Amino acid sequence: MEIQHIILRHVKMELLEPFKTSVFTETHKEFILVEIQGKNGLSGWAESVASPEPYYKEETLKTNWHIMEDFLIPLLLQNPVSHPEQLKKLFEPIRGNTMAKAALEGAMWDLYARTLEQPLAKVLGGTKEKIDVGVSLGIKDSETELLKAVEKHCEEGYKRIKLKVKPGWDLDILKAVRKHFPDISLMADANSAYTLADTDRLKAFDEFNLTMIEQPLAYDDIIDHAKLQRQIETPLCLDESIYTVEDARHAIELGSCKIINIKIGRVGGLHESKLIHDLCKVHGVPVWCGGMLEAGVGRAHNVAITALDNFTLPGDTSASSRYFDADITDPAITVENGTITIPQTPGIGFEPNRKRIEERTYYSKLYKL
């Protein structure tokens, strides 16, 4: 896998509607798009999921650019690898910065799969032909608006609805949604909006028959989550606090969660995602693929990893058309009856459209030896 050059692009796309969580509101999708061109002329692609602000995780678009340019890209250019799994070791001296690592690693996986002329999902060991997906609905201005959004996405066939919650936008809206949609698969994501002092409030979630509550407590906690899990029926799912397969092992051993949300960017790449997936499978812990409002390239990576068999719960990878008027891949990611078909073409299987990428690129830089 000899590298000809690496191009980083700062891409900005307007979101069709703002996305609001307990912590932040996003109106645009702004990210680094990585293209790694091999000496064989093929290009591998990936997105960094770091946003301009450190509201989800400490990494940002700018820290990612710095870490890639000054540390990871020099390592990649100076140390040829024959398989993307070798990158974990190569990048190990650089602490943390999982989103930056995942973006370069992901582009190397795409390049690797394209070189083998095989779909990325298959190269990763995925066996599914189709995957089930759900939607993540941000905090709305009113209950009526939320109910309309739930109805719309249920009608479209999405397999489960995730509601962003925070104190004050939780019990009432869950009650209303359950009343109108008694049978849908429903879950809540708090993005760390609660503490153990809210245990009674979180216990009250039990009556809504949620498939899980995602990351109710601190973004870096697994101790209090274990205490909380012992006191409530609803399974807890960890998102923010799992960065590595070791974190996953600690959380499972402590009983901090019964489900894990795998985000390729948060855990440092596809290889680490696979390791977490495999560990969870051994322990009977289901996983699902989270989302970071990705554009088409990132979405395509999510689709590929979800082809692995322990991704048994519907993920957050919904259709491109929910977020963008025109996505950067051909085709865009489409959902039919709550499912996405795994592409059979080489690599990520959704082709980056250079013209549309160019139109949305504010700055780019090429790196070579």
Residues of this chain that bind ligand OSB (CB under 6 A): 56, 136, 189, 191, 239, 290-293, 316, 318
Residue 204 has what DSSP assignment?
A: G
- In the complex, the smallest distance separating the C-beta of residue 184 from ligand OSB, rounded to whole angstroms, is 17
52 and 16 in contact (C-beta within 8 Å)? no
Residue (57 or 274) nearer to ligand OSB, CB: 57
Q: How far is the CB of 255 from ligand OSB (least distance, A)?
A: 22
Q: Does residue 294 touch Mg ion according to CB under 5 A? A: no
Least Å from the CB of residue 287 to ligand OSB: 14
Give me 275's structure tokens.
């390791």
- 187 binding partner (options ligand OSB, Mg ion, none; Cβ < 5 to 8 Å by kind): none
Residues 234-263 within binding reach of Mg ion (CB under 5 A): 239
Give me the catalytic one of 20, 101, 263, 274.
263
CA nearest to 318, candidates 62, 138, 69, 60:
138
- Is residue 164 among the annotated active site residues? yes
Pure H helices in 159-307: 171-180, 199-203, 223-231, 245-254, 270-282, 296-305
Q: How far apart are the first and last CA of the chain?
A: 15
- Nearer to ligand OSB among residue 105 and residue 240 (C-beta): 240
CB within 8 Å of 211: residues ≥ 6 apart: 160, 185, 186, 187, 235, 313
Window 175-234: residues binding Mg ion (CB under 5 A): 189, 214
The minimum distance between CB 137 and ligand OSB, in angstroms, equals 9
- Cα dihedral 60→14→185→149 (10° resolution): 140
Nearer to ligand OSB, 47 or 272 (CB): 47
Between 189 and 327, whose beta carbon lies closer to Mg ion? Answer: 189
Q: How many residues does the chain have?
A: 369
Q: Which residues contact 215 (CB under 8 A, 6 or more apart)?
A: 189, 190, 191, 192, 237, 238, 239, 240, 241, 261
Q: Which is nearer to ligand OSB, 56 or 169 (CB)?
A: 56
Q: Is 26 in the site for Mg ion (CB under 5 A)?
A: no
In the set 57, 162, 164, 258, the catalytic residue is 164
Q: Which residues are catalytic?
A: 164, 263
The contact set with Mg ion (CB under 5 A) reads 189, 214, 239
